[in-house]
Amino acid sequence: MNFITALLSQLNYGTIFLLMLLESTVFPVPSELVVTPAAYHAAGGNLNMWLVILFATLGADCGATINYLAGWYLGRPIIYRFANSRWGHACLLNQEKVEKSERYFDRHGLVATITGRLLPGIRHLISIPAGLAKMSYWKFLLYTTVGAGVWHSILALLGHYMHAFVPEEQLHGKILEYGEYIKVGLILLVVMVCLYFAVRWYVRRRKAGSRQA
C-alpha cells in the first residue's frame, strides 16, 4: 500500500497507466483517486486531460486482459481458491464477489463487459467471467475500452470541473463526496441500459414468434 500511496502522490502518464492496470486486476486502487486528481492538475496546465483519459484506459485494458487470461487459462477452481486465500482477502477479494460478477455477466451477456466497467464492486472483476466464458478477446477488448473510456471520461470531467472552485487541500474529500453521487447516477444508467436491451430482445423474440406462426 505504501507503493500505491507513493504512486498516487506522483501522478504522471506512467503512474496513471500503472495504477489503472493494477485497479483492473485485483488490487484495491480506487480510480476516482487517480483519474480525477490527474484531470484536476490537467486543468491547471500540468497534464493533458485527453492523455490522462487515454493512458488510464490503456492501463485498464492491460489490467482487464490479465484478469481475462486468468479466467481463460486458470479456470474457476483456481480463481476461487485465490479469492478465498489470504492474498485474495488482502486485495479485498472473496468468492462471493467473484460469483457476483459471474452472475452479472451471465445475466447481461456481452453488454456486461461495457456496463460492468461502470459499477462499483463489479468493475475490476467483470473480466474474469468473460475469460471463463471464452468470450472473443477482440470483442472483449473493444467493449472494455468503451466502458473504461466512458468511466475515465466522467472522472476526468469531474476533476476538470472541480479545479474551478475546489482548493487542492480539499480535493480528496470532495472527490469522495461527488463520487457517491456519480456512483448512484451510473447505477441508474446501467439499469436503464440493461432494461433497454431486455426490452429489445423481448420485442425481437415476439416478432420472430409471430413470423413462425
**Would you state the pLDDT for residue 73?**
92
209 CB-near residues (< 8 Å, 6+ apart): none
Nearest to 1 by CA among 90, 126, 94, 86: 90
Our CA dihedral for 199, 203, 208, 213, rounded to 10 degrees, sits at 130
Residue type, 184: V
* Secondary element (H or E) of residue 80: helix 76-83
**Would you state the pLDDT for residue 59?**
96
Long-range contacts of 49-52 (CB under 8 A, 24+ apart): 49/156, 49/160, 51/13, 52/13, 52/16, 52/152, 52/156
Task: Out of 16-20, 82-86, 105-109, pick the least confident.
Answer: 105-109
Q: 200 pLDDT band (50/70/90 cuts)? A: confident
Query: How far apart, in Å, are the Cα atoms of 208 and each of 54, 168, 198, 205, 213?
Result: 42, 58, 15, 5, 9
pLDDT digits (tens, 9 = 90+) for 15-62: 999 999 999 988 878 888 899 999 999 998 889 999 999 999 999 999
pTM: 0.80
Q: Which cell is 67 given? A: 484478469
DSSP state letter for 170: G
**Would you state the pLDDT for residue 7?**
66
Q: Which cell is 190 given? A: 446501467
Question: Which bin fits 92, alpha (ψ -120 to 50), beta or left (φ > 0)?
Answer: left
Location of C-alpha cell 462499483: 120
Q: What is the mean pLDDT of residues 68-84?
A: 89
